[in-house]
């Protein structure tokens, strides 16, 4: 197995998952790229995470949901399931800030995990029946004779097709078709407690009249609307561009998509075709995506989201092999970096790419990463030092830099970065971790090197 294989595998796991340890990367590379892609898109091939253990360690269901989710991200054997849950969370951005109903928001993520790798029709049906979404976009106030267009509009504009592919009349008729799609909320046992809200269809609130939507006329209900949407080439293109933006390379923000063409129209074409020929089967589309050249060549073309940065560091340092307490500080860390999971700022979702970065968030990102890699006793760091030791000889400064970049990534860096790191390495001479000279000082030099690497510009990119 070559270093090229390892580097490609690391790329795949940063995008389709949340990073991987060196040992995991070696195992994956052994299995072969296309086989690993199959394992990712067919998650049933791998064991699910043990829910009982999660419950035992993270306590009651909703309170620690984000921590629990972050634990899943770094430890699930089905990383793409979690990555797709995050993807749909980006696209179908629903904020707990409005509903103040953590349980409903948590259930929505569970739904995205469950159906995220199914087909677009099922995904949109589940979305339209999701109580958190219904409340977020006021579909519980969408009734026969007094339609509320909020959900109908966003379903078309932000969740499936994008502006320019339907008329205002289509929005009105879409909203009418979703009248009566609401939820029931059992009264809570305690003033601050919650029970699950459940989707209900209220016949008496549903508008049974004739509607015309994208050229189809009839007594259309919500599921008819979704049937029509998923057959539109516009839907295939829109979702393909979302997938490209999330998995391949940063695109401009969604509201500009109808005026700014995609940076790689051919890639979008390939993904849209995969969408159309499979009737929106996510597994097929993602298989196509991960096996494509445009994906393999996209290393470093995405700014890591705060969630990706934090989970990537956790994978690197190898902590939380088991669900120990204390993960709350990591959801706090992503919040400070501008991504509070379960609470995107608006229905438009987080602005991604370079918009993740400002003076404050860059400081948070760098300081977080530098702090977390500082402890040589963390399993991932200890393992990395052992691998350097296993070289069995003193490493010249440029080798020292090369090995660290390799083990922390493998990462490709600019000449500027490499020269800076070399300068640092040279100031301490050869690195000798062998038994006699494996002093604290040498270990410390490795730590400092890692701190510089995770502080680099390149580390901000996936």
Partner 1 sequence: MAYRDPVLVIVELKGGNDFMNTIVPYTNGIYHDCRPIVGLREDEVLPMNDTLAWHPNTVPLKEMFEQGDVAIVQGIGYPDSSRSHFRAMDVWHTCEPIDIGTEGWLGRVVRDLDPKGENVLTGINFGKGLSRALAVSGVPVTSVDDLDNYGLMTSIKEDPKRMRAIEIFKTMYEPAIGTGVVMDYLSQTGLDVIKGSDKLKMAPAMYQSDVEYGSNSIAKALRDVARVHLAGLGTRIFYTQHGGYDHHANEMPSHPKLLTELSEAIRDFFQDLRNHNASQEIVMLVFSEFGRRMRDNASGTDHGTGGGAFIIGDGVNGGLYAEYPSLDPSRWANGEDLEHTIDFRGIYATLLEQWMGMDATPIVDGTFEQIQPFKEVV
In the complex, the residues that contact partner 1 under the rule CB under 8 A are 95, 97-98, 100, 138, 150, 191-192, 250, 253, 255, 303, 335-336, 338, 345-346, 348, 351, 353-355, 357-364, 366-367, 370-371, 374, 414-417, 419-421, 423-424, 448, 451-452, 455-457, 460
Q: Could you tell me the smallest distance in angstroms from the CB atom of residue 254 to partner 1?
A: 11
Nearer to partner 1 (CB atom), residue 353 or residue 438: 353
DSSP annotation of 48 reads P
Look up residue 457 and give its two tokens.
Answer: 């510009």
Q: Residues near 254 by Cβ (< 8 Å), separated by ≥ 6?
A: 158, 162, 242, 348, 349
User: Which C-beta is closer to partner 1: that of 75 or that of 340?
Assistant: 340
Q: How remote is the C-alpha of 109 from its chain's centroid?
A: 12
Q: What is the closest distance, in whole angstroms, from the C-beta atom of residue 168 to partner 1 in the complex?
A: 16
User: Parallel, antiparallel, or unpaired: how do β-strands 211-213 and 216-218 relate?
Assistant: antiparallel
Alpha-carbon gap, residue 459 to 453, rounded angstroms: 7
Distance of closest approach, residue 360 Cβ to partner 1, in angstroms = 3
DSSP β-bridge partners for residue 216: 213
CB of 364 to partner 1, least distance (A): 8
User: Which lies closer to partner 1 via its Cβ, residue 71 or residue 459?
Assistant: 459
Residue placing its CB nearer to partner 1 in the complex, 98 or 121 = 98
Q: How far is the CB of 434 from partner 1 (least distance, A)?
A: 24
105-112 LR contacts (CB < 8 Å, sep 24+): 105/65, 105/132, 105/342, 106/61, 106/62, 106/65, 106/342, 107/131, 107/132, 107/196, 108/132, 108/133, 109/65, 109/69, 109/85, 109/342, 112/84, 112/85, 112/88
CA nearest neighbour of 4 among 267, 299, 441, 220: 299
Please, which residue, 416 or 434, has the CB nearer to partner 1? 416
Rg (CA), the chain: 24
Tell whether omega for the bond before 410 is within 30 degrees of 0, i.e. cis: yes
Nearer to partner 1, 219 or 346 (CB): 346
CB of 250 to partner 1, least distance (A): 7
Q: In angstroms, give the least distance from the CB of 253 to partner 1.
A: 8
User: Residues 164, 260: contact at Cβ < 8 Å?
Assistant: no
Judged by CB, which is closer to partner 1: 215, or 326? Answer: 326
């Amino acid at each position: 197995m070559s270093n090229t294989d390892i580097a490609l595998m690391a790329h795949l796991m940063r995008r389709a998952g949340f990073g991987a340890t060196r040992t995991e990367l070696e195992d994956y590379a052994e299995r072969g790229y296309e086989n690993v892609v199959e394992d990712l898109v067919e998650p049933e091939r791998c064991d699910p995470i043990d829910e009982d253990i999660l419950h035992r360690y993270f306590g009651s269901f909703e309170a620690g949901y984000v921590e629990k989710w972050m634990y899943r991200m770094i430890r699930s054997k089905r990383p793409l399931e979690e990555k797709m849950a995050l993807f749909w969370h980006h696209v179908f951005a629903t904020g707990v800030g409005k509903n103040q109903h953590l349980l409903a928001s948590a259930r929505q993520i569970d739904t995205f995990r469950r159906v995220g790798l199914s087909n677009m029709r099922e995904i949109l049906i589940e979305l339209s029946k999701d109580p958190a979404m219904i409340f977020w976009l006021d579909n519980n106030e969408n009734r026969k004779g007094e339609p509320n267009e909020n959900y109908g509009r966003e379903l078309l504009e932000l969740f499936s097709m994008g502006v320019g592919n339907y008329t205002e009349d289509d929005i009105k008729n879409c909203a009418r078709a979703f009248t009566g799609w609401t939820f029931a909320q059992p009264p809570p046992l305690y003033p601050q407690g919650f029970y699950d809200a459940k989707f209900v269809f209220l016949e008496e609130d549903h508008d049974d009249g004739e509607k015309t939507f994208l050229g189809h006329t009839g007594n259309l209900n919500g599921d008819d609307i979704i049937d029509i949407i998923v057959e539109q080439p516009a839907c295939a293109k829109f979702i393909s561009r979302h997938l490209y933006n999330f998995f391949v390379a940063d695109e401009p923000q969604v509201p500009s998509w109808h005026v700014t063409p995609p940076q790689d129209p051919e890639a979008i074409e390939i993904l849209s075709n995969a969408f159309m020929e499979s009737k929106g089967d996510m597994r097929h589309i993602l298989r196509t995506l991960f096996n494509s050249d445009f994906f393999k060549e996209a290393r470093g073309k995405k700014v890591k989201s705060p969630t990706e940065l934090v989970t990537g560091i956790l994978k690197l340092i190898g902590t939380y092999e088991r669900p120990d307490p204390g993960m709350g500080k990591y959801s706090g860390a992503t919040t400070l970096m501008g991504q509070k999971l379960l609470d995107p700022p608006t229905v438009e979702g987080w602005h991604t790419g370079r918009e993740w970065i400002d003076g404050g968030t860059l400081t948070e990102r760098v300081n977080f990463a530098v702090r977390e890699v500082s402890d040589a006793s963390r399993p991932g760091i200890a393992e990395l030092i052992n691998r350097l030791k296993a070289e069995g000889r003193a490493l010249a400064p440029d080798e020292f830099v090369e090995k660290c970049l390799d083990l922390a990534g493998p990462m490709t860096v600019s000449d500027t970065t490499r020269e800076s790191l070399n300068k640092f390495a040279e100031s301490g001479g050869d690195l000798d971790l062998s038994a006699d000279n494996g002093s604290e000082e040498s270990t410390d030099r490795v730590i400092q090197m890692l701190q510089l690497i995770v502080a680099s510009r390149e580390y901000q990119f996936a």
